[in-house]
Amino acid sequence: MKAGHLDINEFLFTQQEADIIITRLIFERQLKSVIDIGGREGSKIGFVGSDKLECVKSNIYKDDGDIFDDICNSKIKSDSFDIVHSRNLFEHLLEPWKAAEHCVRICKSRGILYHMTVFSWSLHVDPVDCFRYTHIGLAHIFERTDQVETIKCGYSLYKFGRWGVIYLGEKR
């Protein structure tokens, strides 16, 4: 391997691995609430134990979700949720660093940030498609708040041979 190049295999982090960690943390810490940022009516969070949590979905579409909110300029009360979660959202944000700051702000102390987004994926506009992430970039937008410690961040093979990035962090 050339100097300066990373082997993606060193940073594999499957959704199943992430789900095992988050499930363990739910039970160990007796976490009670989760917000699914960008969650839509009828969508499921999907990790084991999520059905035991009070789940709130927020979305920029007024009729889709429980809370109408733009995570890049969120009005949600600080320290509101034990888990702040998103799936395939951060690539659609014009200012993802602002979204990360708000995700950290609305997460309770010792709460969990669990986000999945794309590394390699085709253009998909809904409403816009702005970014692709490496494990370094995704971790950085959360860590730059100085309030989060990364538990693990890495790559997961999605369907159709495309790659995603999963971030799991803890708010101090």
Q: What is the pLDDT of residues 114-141, one digit of tens each?
A: 999 999 988 988 889 999 999 999 999 9
Give the CATH architecture of domain 8-171: 3-Layer(aba) Sandwich (3.40)
Task: State the pLDDT at residue 169.
Answer: 98
pTM of the model: 0.93
Task: State the pLDDT at residue 43.
Answer: 66
Question: Is the bond preceding residue 127 a cis peptide, omega within 30 degrees?
Answer: yes
Pairing of strands 81-87, 33-37: parallel
Give the chain's residues under pLDDT 50: 1
